[in-house]
Structures are given as structure tokens and as C-alpha cells.
Structure 1
Amino acid sequence: MQKLLIIFFAAALISCGNSSKPSGKDSTGKEEHTDGHGHEEDIVEITAAQARTIGLQTAEVQKRSLSGAIKVNGMLDVPPQQMLSISTPFGGILRNTQLLEGYWVRKGQVIAEMEHPDYIQLQQDYLETKAQYGFLEQELERQQELSKENVTARKTLQKTEADHRTLKVRMEGLRQKLILMNISIPNLEKGTIIRAIPVVAPISGYVTKVNANIGKFVNANEPMFEIVDTEHLHAELTVFEKDIPRLKIGRKVRFVLSNETEERTATVHLIGREIDADRTIRVHCHLDREDREMMPGTYLKAWVETGAMEVPSLPDEAIVMEGDKYYVFIAEEEANHFKRQEITTGVSGNGYTEVRLPDGTPANARFAVKGAGDLMAAMMNSGEAGHAH
């Protein structure tokens, strides 16, 4: 008895499902639109009366001369030559510095002092070599005079000349090393030997990194500080590949920093020549007004002016936004049947917007240019009711 009840209940469900589901063909054998299956869920149908009520009109895509702006993201950055790591060519102990991150320093300012016995030895070597060079220079002059009178052997003169050249090279090498250490040669030649060498800021800017503390031994060429000159910031924009043809050097850029509401301006200065893996390029823009208070790494939103160009477009009211996507409605062969199609948009102006249609869209396709918003509303309402039309 229980088995018979189960079989009867299953048969009733199958019968109910078949009776409530359309067969997919009408009485003439033609295919009908089904509800919620495949692409048919993007089809909306209205009556002729509804079309008249909403003032439905269709038109083909036309090319128009539009001028607009490309919306992009980016960040403030500094040229490599305006971001410097400070180090010394000779290792030593950091004996003094007052720097902290955020300090402003000017070009030529002493920002730290280093100590090491080798510094003293180099100064000593230079002074000793200079003294020897002075003596040898006098000896060379004497040998040259004796050679003229055939008093000294030619070999002796040649040896003196060789020693003179060797000592001159050594003295110049020591001199250049002392210059790299920011040691004053005139003061040293007066007999002033210093034990601590100064570390000098090569540019003006803000200290962004402090990598050493007092008493630490710092190896040669090891970065101790990083200084950024924020007076020459630029805007580095990320532009998608599809928008590359619209970029031109000299075009104006409007941008807003993520931590501000004030709109600033810049000018396109350089356009990258390599497309990244994410199909974007880098665009370098010079700021029209420098501002030392702006910080590198700040994110921004920008609009790059594109100028006028012929692009396929539709009236603004033909394009409907749902969520973060844009749609148009393409007229089907059957009257008052429309297919919703997702698109991407470009520049806008004078009531028209550039449209980029997917491949395979018929060239003579007609689009709802009036009443598109009503079609979207009808589709959404029918979706809520569980019906596609």
C-alpha cells in the first residue's frame, strides 16, 4: 500500500511539471521564447500599446564627432633623479645625526657625521704624498738643468721623471678620495686633519627613510637615508589598452587626490611604449602647479581630455546602467521584441555616448533610443514575477 502511494505522488509531480512548462513551440511549430533559459532571459517583449505609451523609438549606431575625457586611476610619483639614497663611499661609524622621517633638508646641508681611523690615515697619506711631490718636483728641475749641461746621466733624469709622474698620480688619487669624503682640501693643506667626515644632502627634500642609528657601523655604499624632492612630483596614470589611440602628448588632465576634494590640473608629458600584463600602459603627466606638501604614493582619479574624434555612438538615453554595467536593447525581427546587450562605453558629449559593441553585432542593428529605461524596468519587473516577458 505504501509503495502504491509513493508511485502515485511521483506521477502527479511529473504531470504537474509537464503541464506548467511550455513546449517551446506554438501551434504553427515556431520556436517561442522560454523563461529564464540561456540567452532568452535577456529578451523583453511589450505590446504595441505599451510601445506607444513609452514613445518607443529605434535607430542605428551612427558615427559622431565627440570630445570627452578618459577616466583613469593613478598615483603621485617622483622621477628617479628626485629620490635619492644617501650613503658614503667608505665604511664608518655613524657618530651624529638629527634626522627623522619627515624632516625637511636643503641641498648642501650636513645631515650626519661619520668616523673611522681610515679617514685620518687617508688625510695623512695625502699630506705626506704632497710633501714628497714638492721635493721631487724640485729634484726634477735640478736634474733637467744638469742634463742640459751634460753633468748628469740621462738615466738618472728618466728615473726622476718617472718617480715624479707616479707620485703625481698617487696624490691626485688621494685628493679625489678626500673630495668624495667631503673633506676640504684647502683646509687639509693648511694642516687641519679632521676625525669625522660630514655627510651632505645632495638635494633638497623630505627625509622618507632613516636606516641607521648613532653608533652603528655602516658599510661602504650602504643606504643610510632616503630623501625625496616633492617639488617635482608627477602624476603617473594607468590607461587601458583600448584608450591608447586617444592619448596625445600635451593633452590636459584633471585629477583629484584621494585625500582631497580640490581638482588639480596636469599635462600629458610622456606616454609609455610597453603594455603591461594587465593590458595597461603608464602615462607620465607634469603638474601645472607644483605643491611641496603633496606626498608621493597618493592615489588619484583623473580625467584625460581626448579631443574630438569620429566614434560610433548612441543617444545617452539609449544606454541603461544596471549595477556597474551598461546595457542597450537591440530590436529583434519580431515586432516589439528586444534583446538586452551588455556594452562598454567611451567618451560622451552633446547628449551622445560612444558605444563599443561586442563582436558579431549586425552592422544594421537597430537599438531602442527612446524607452530603453522602460524596457529595463519591464524586464526587471517580469524577472521578479518569475516571467521573462
Structure 2
Amino acid sequence: MNKFIYTALLLCTIFACKSKAKEGEIAAEEKIRIHGDTIILNKEQIRNADIQLSFPGEQNLRQTLQASGLVDVPPQSLVSVSAPMGGYLKSTRLMQGMRVARGQVIAVLEDPSYVQLQEDYLSARAKMQYAKADMERQKDLRESNATSTKSYQLALSEYNQLQVQIQSLAEKLRIINIRPESVSLNNITRRVNIYAPISGFVSKVNVNIGKYVNASEVMFELTDPNDLHAAINIFEKDIMRFKPGMKGTVWVSNDPDKKYPVSVLLVSKNLNDNRSAVVYCQFLNASQNLIPGMFLNAEFDVLNYQSKAVPEHAVVHFEGNDYVFVANNDSTFVMTGVQTGAAADGFVSLKTDSLFNKRIVINGAFNLLGAMKGGEEE
């Protein structure tokens, strides 16, 4: 403010006449007195300037930030179920939203390739019996010099190759959920079961009865609801205020009365095209009604602590610095530099602890500044 604005403020507040003096005259006792950073007022001037005093008080400074995001799940809690080998879907009862338990049969596939795999396994085992016997016979003959070392080595190689083949076929059977030890001449099946790899609920069903399912095709998607998290988008200017462990609340748009407390798990280290980053939050008591992809509103306490504070209008700004007026007595006020902290809910924290036990002008500080800088020093 320039001197003229301060003078106008001074005339409107401080120099209001207290009596019926002649027009254009101001009683001598109504003039303010200024000594450096000190201003002295009489009772009439204090009343006209609406001066109020108070000690800095303990305040809970709370500042919130609003944001939005989605219900999300980490990769390990969202499972795509496929068939390791292609086949026709013979049966399934899954519907979207249905709950499943880990190890539960969720589909049955049928295909001739399953039969062929079991046949190859049984054939390899049968050949193994002969290969083992031949290898042992060639070994005995070599030791008695009745055959060449080469014949023994060929028999041993055939035996080893069959071992590898049997082990490989057994693993293929396990992949399609057939136990190799259960396969026999009288127990060959054309069907295989698909089991739920996790407990949770069905989020997608992409197949129907009779459809041929390729090995690369996703049949179902299962979600573990116990590991849901909130993915909240925070703009670049606010991202530095978020740390792991920070608390907040989220709610679904169509049910704003139901609040879910969350805790920050991870702050993304890259910005999106809209100059925002994702903050991943853990639900502290997630509801089974939450579904991945649901839109969320969020609120976080970016500032929440106890501090000595005064009302914001008790602090005045002049030439780039902050000041408060400290009362030496009921009529003398000293303009004093102050260090301030965070501001919230109409209060600003004080970092200058020497002022904690001082009476401070909490109302009328701008009037005093106007009077001091618009008047003349005595």
C-alpha cells in the first residue's frame, strides 16, 4: 500500500472524532504517537480501530486435499486363467461376480490331444522296460568281453533318452492337471479339469460351453478382494506432500456416506501425460462390495498437527516480511518480525517461540500498520 491508502485507512478508523469538535479540527489528545516500530493509541483510538488482544493459542492445523482415482488390484491378485493345451469347453458354472475357492474345479476341457499325450507317456514307459533290460544285458556282456563297448554305449544312450522322454511327458501331464502315476492302460481320460489358482471372485468370463479354447486364450479372470487398493491420481504440484503411511479416506461416487480409511503404500515416480502421478493406497477395512475399476473420490490430510498459532489476519505483510503487533501494555504496540509456518482453517502457526507468552493484536493489525506507515514519526 502507498502512503495515500494508509492515510485514508487511518482517517476512517483511527482518527474518528470522539467528541463534537469543530469541523476540520482534531483534538491534540487524539493524535497517535509513533516511535520507530512502536505505536501508542488512546482508548478512543483503540476502540475505533477495533483492537483485540490474545496470547498465541494451541491449534490443530488441518489441511485437506481432494483427489480421485479407481479401485485397483496388484498383478499378483488379478489372475488370468487359460488352458495349457487347447481343448473344447465341456462344462463350467462360472458367472461374473461368483466367488470361488482356491483348488475348486471351475471348468472341464475335452480334446483328443490329451489322449495322445497319455498314450505317448505309456508307450515311453513300456519301451523303458525293454531299454533297461537291454542296457543291463549289454553291460554284463561287456564285462565278460562277449560284446563291444560300443554296443553297451548305444544301449545306455537309448535308456537315458527314454528317461528324459518319460520325465518330459510326465511334466506335460502335470501341466494339464493329470497325475502321471494315475495313467494306466485302463485309466486314460479325454477330459481335464481347470482349477482356480486363487480364492476370490470371477471378474470376467470369456468362454461358453462347446467353444474351442486355444492355449493362449484367457478363459476367466479371477480377483482376490483381500488385496484391493486405491489408485489415486495426484497432480504434480502436490505429489511431494505424499509419503508412505499417510492417512486418508476414499468413497465410491454413488455411496458418498460410506467412507473407507486408506494408508499410502507407494508413490509413483513417473508423471502421466496430464502431469499427474498415481498414489497407491491400502484399504484398512475394504468392503466386499468394492470392485476393481470403480471410480473413487479421495481426501487426504496433507497437514495435521498441533502448533502455537494466531488468526491469519493477526499477521501483516510489509516489504516482503511478516509482522505481528505485540502489546507492551493496553495502549502501546510494537511491530515485531515473526516467522510463520503452515496456515489452515483461518490460523497460521508461529515459529518464533519468544512470542508464545506475549499478548498479540489478533484483530485490527492492519489498521495499526496503516496508521504507522501513513502517519509521521514523532
* TM category, shorter: 0.5 to 0.7
Q: What's 1:171 paired with?
A: 166
**For the Cα contact (< 8 Å) 1:257–1:300, is it kept in 2?**
yes
Match of 1:205 among 200, 209, 224: 200
1:87 aligns with 2:86: no
Q: What's 1:21 paired with?
A: none
1:76 aligns with 2:71: yes
1:272 aligns with 2:268: yes
Question: 1:125 Cα shift?
Answer: 0.7
Q: What's 1:192 paired with?
A: 187
Q: Distance in 1 between matches of 2:127 and 2:168?
A: 15
Q: What's 1:158 paired with?
A: 153
SS in 1 for 2:102: coil
**For the Cα contact (< 8 Å) 1:110–1:199, is it kept in 2?**
yes
Question: 1:77 Cα shift?
Answer: 0.7
1:217 aligns with 2:212: yes
Q: What's 1:334 paired with?
A: none
Q: Distance in 1 between matches of 2:49 and 2:74?
A: 56
Assess, with a 3 A threshold, how the Cα gap between structure 1 residues 72 and 316 changes in structure 2: closer, same or farther.
farther
Q: What's 2:108 paired with?
A: 113
1:232 aligns with 2:203: no
Question: 1:85 Cα shift?
Answer: 1.5
Query: Can you give the 5+ residue segments of structure 1 that lack an aligned partner in the other structure?
Result: 1-44, 58-63, 319-329, 332-346, 355-368, 373-389
Question: 1:94 Cα shift?
Answer: 0.8
Q: Distance in 2 between matches of 1:370 and 1:235?
A: 47
Question: 1:275 Cα shift?
Answer: 1.0
Q: Which amino acid aligns with 1:226?
A: E
Q: What's 1:138 paired with?
A: 133
1:142-201 C-alpha deviation (Å, 9 max, x unpaired): 222222222221001110111112111211221111111111222114741111111111
SS in 2 for 1:152: coil
Q: What's 1:304 paired with?
A: 300
Match of 1:241 among 226, 236, 251: 236
Assess, with a 3 A threshold, how the Cα gap between structure 1 residues 151 and 244 changes in structure 2: closer, same or farther.
same
Match of 2:118 among 109, 123, 127: 123
Assess, with a 3 A threshold, how the Cα gap between structure 1 residues 317 and 208 changes in structure 2: closer, same or farther.
farther
**For the Cα contact (< 8 Å) 1:55–1:371, is it kept in 2?**
no
Q: Distance in 2 between matches of 1:158 and 1:185?
A: 29
Assess, with a 3 A threshold, how the Cα gap between structure 1 residues 152 and 314 changes in structure 2: closer, same or farther.
farther
Q: Distance in 1 between matches of 2:295 and 2:121?
A: 52
Q: Which amino acid aligns with 2:261?
A: T
1:284 aligns with 2:280: yes
Assess, with a 3 A threshold, how the Cα gap between structure 1 residues 46 and 256 changes in structure 2: closer, same or farther.
farther
Question: 1:219 Cα shift?
Answer: 1.5
1:262-281 C-alpha deviation (Å, 9 max, x unpaired): 22212111110001111111
Q: What's 1:31 paired with?
A: none
Assess, with a 3 A threshold, how the Cα gap between structure 1 residues 135 and 300 changes in structure 2: closer, same or farther.
same
**For the Cα contact (< 8 Å) 1:230–1:293, is it kept in 2?**
no
**For the Cα contact (< 8 Å) 2:260–2:286, is it kept in 1?**
no
SS in 2 for 1:131: helix
Q: Distance in 2 between matches of 1:69 and 1:148?
A: 88
1:229-273 C-alpha deviation (Å, 9 max, x unpaired): 111101111111111221111112222222241222121111100
Assess, with a 3 A threshold, how the Cα gap between structure 1 residues 353 and 178 changes in structure 2: closer, same or farther.
farther
User: Aligned Cα RMSD in Å?
Assistant: 3.7
Q: Distance in 1 between matches of 2:183 and 2:191?
A: 13
Assess, with a 3 A threshold, how the Cα gap between structure 1 residues 317 and 117 changes in structure 2: closer, same or farther.
farther
Q: Distance in 1 between matches of 2:184 and 2:281?
A: 49
Q: Number of paired residues?
A: 287
**For the Cα contact (< 8 Å) 1:231–1:291, is it kept in 2?**
no
Q: Distance in 2 between matches of 1:209 and 1:125?
A: 35
Question: 1:202 Cα shift?
Answer: 0.9
Question: 1:314 Cα shift?
Answer: 10
Q: Which amino acid aligns with 1:172?
A: Q
Assess, with a 3 A threshold, how the Cα gap between structure 1 residues 261 and 351 changes in structure 2: closer, same or farther.
same
Moved more, 102-111 or 48-57: 48-57
**For the Cα contact (< 8 Å) 2:202–2:223, is it kept in 1?**
yes
Q: Which amino acid aligns with 2:226?
A: E
Q: Distance in 2 between matches of 1:190 and 1:107?
A: 31
TM-score in terms of structure 2 length: 0.66
Q: Distance in 1 between matches of 2:312 and 2:90?
A: 68
Q: Which amino acid aligns with 1:160?
A: A
Q: Distance in 1 between matches of 2:242 and 2:266?
A: 10
Q: What's 2:291 paired with?
A: 295
Q: Distance in 1 between matches of 2:136 and 2:193?
A: 39
Structure 1 stretches of at least 4 aligned residues deviating more than 4 Å after TM superposition: 45-57, 64-67, 313-318, 369-372
